[in-house]
Copies of this chain bind each other. A is one copy, B any other.
Amino acid sequence: MRFQAPKGTRDFYPQDCALRNYLVDAWRRVSIRNGFEQVDGPIFESLDLYKAKSGEGIVSELFHFEDRGERHLAIRPEFTPTLARMAAQQANALPRPIKWFCVPNLCRAEKPQRGRLREFWQWNVDILGSDQPVADAECIFTAVDLLAELGLTPQHVRIKISHRQTVRHILAKLGVPDDKMLDAFDLLDRRDKMEESDFKQAAQKLGLDEYRVLRFQETCRRKYPAGDLEHMKRSIGMNEHLADLEALDRQLRAFNIAPWCEYDLGIVRGLAYYTGTVFEIHETSGALRAMAGGGRYDQLVEIFGGPPTPAVGLGMGDVVIADVLRDKELLPENVLPRPDVFVIALTDKAGEQMTGIAADLRRKGVHARFSYKATRNLGKLLKDADTARARYALILDDKLAQGQAGLKDLAAGTQMDVALAEVAGRIK
C-alpha cells in the first residue's frame, strides 16, 4: 500500500523541520525578549466558538467533526478565538496588560495555492487590557524586531497601517452614507482584486458622484510615510478624528520603526472583528500575499463572556515569510544541528567500548555520534564524520588501555591525544 501526505499539508523531513525550527525559534526568541509569555490551547475547539466570532459562513472553511458525545468540534483555523476564550475565563486573575504569544499549527479547509496551505504554523502576538496606542506600536515593533532578526530590512518589507475609525470618517466626509459603510469597507478590501472599471461602478453604487469616486480611489490607493502625519492630513483634507493615529505615529517614532511603516488607507483586514488600528506586512514588490496582519479588536473578549478588554495583536504564518526569505536568499543553507564529535573505533576491543564512551559524552551534554557500520577503516569513518558535519572525531585504538584517545579537529585537521575524562571539557 502507498500513502501520501493529505492535500495541502506538508511532510517535514530533517532539513524542512530544521528550517521550520529556525523560524519558530526566532519567533520564540523575539517574543520573549519583547516581554511576551507563551500560551497554547487545544488543536480543536467547539464549532460554536468559531461561529460566535465569524458567523455561520466560517463552517465551510473548517475541518469539523462530531465526537462520540455528539459535540460539534472543529480544528482551529486561527488562534484568536482560543485566546479570547482563555482571556475571558481568567480575566480577573491575570495581571494587565496581558502579553501573550503562541506558535500553533492551524488548519483551513480551503483550496491550497501559493502562500496558502491547509495546515500551517502561525506566530501570534497579542496585548490585552490596554487601549493605549503604545500597545499597537509594541505589537508592530515586535514584528519589526522579528523581521530584522531574520535579516530583512525596510528595503525588503513594508508595514502598511490603517485605522478603521479614521477611514470611516474619511468615507463619511466623501459622502458615503452610514448604511453603505460596510459595503464601502468591503470594496476597499477587494480593491486589489478588481478591474478599475468594476471598482468605479461599485463605488458609484455607494452613492458617490464621479469626482468623489476618483477621490475615494485615490484615498485608498495612495500611501503616506509614517513618522509624519502632515502628508496624509493635507492629502485627505482632514484634521480631526486622527487622535489615535497621531498617538500611534508618535510611538512608531519612539520605537524607531517609522522607516519600516507607511499609512495605507486601503488596508481593511476583512469586515468583522477589528475595531481600530489594522496593519499588514508586505514584501515591497507586492507580488506575494501579506506576510502578516493584525490590528485592534476591542470587543472580542467581551463577546466570549469576559469583561470589556481592549486588545491588539498580529498573526504571521510560516509559509509566506519563508517564501520571502528564500526569494531574498536570506534562508540559512543548513540549519541541521552539527554533531560535536563523531566517535570512531579502530579495533574490535575499542568497538566494544565505543557506545559507552559516546553515551558518557552525551550524558555530559555533548552531541556525540558513532557509526553503525562494522568497518574499522579510519578513512571511511572519517568520511562519515565529515558527512555528518561533526566538529571533532574521537579516534579509539589501543591507547584506550591507558585511558587515552585521539581527538581530531576536523576543520583544522589537527589531532592530539586526550585523556577520555577530558574529552567533554575540550570539546565544549
| Chain B nearest Cβ from A45, distance in angstroms | 6
Interface digits, A89-125 against B, CB 8 Å rule (1 contact, 0 not)? Answer: 1100001110010100101010000000001000000
Interface of A: prevailing SS: mixed
Q: A6-B73, A304-B1, A355-B254 are in contact. Are A367 and B35 (CB under 8 A)?
A: yes
Within A127-142, which residues are at the interface with B (CB < 8 Å)? 130, 132, 134-135, 137-138, 141
Cβ of A284 within 8 Å of any chain B Cβ, yes or no, is: no
One of A7-15, A173-181, A186-194, A414-422 contacting the partner: A7-15
CB–CB B42/A256 < 8 A:
no
Whether B35 lies near A368 (C-beta < 8 A) is yes
User: Complex: how many Å from CA A395 to CA B178?
Assistant: 49
Given known A304-B1, A369-B35, contact A148–B363 (CB-CB < 8 A): yes
13 new A-B contacts, CB < 8 A, other than A1-B304, A33-B365, are: A1-B303, A3-B88, A6-B42, A11-B86, A17-B40, A33-B366, A64-B65, A75-B75, A96-B372, A97-B372, A141-B355, A141-B359, A255-B359
| A residues in contact (CB < 8 Å) with B | 1-7, 9-14, 17-18, 20-21, 30, 32-35, 37-46, 48-49, 52, 60, 63-65, 67-69, 71, 73, 75, 82, 85-86, 88-90, 95-97, 100, 102, 105, 107, 109, 119, 130, 132, 134-135, 137-138, 141, 145, 148, 251, 254-257, 303-305, 336-337, 339, 352-353, 355-356, 359-360, 362-363, 365-369, 372, 387
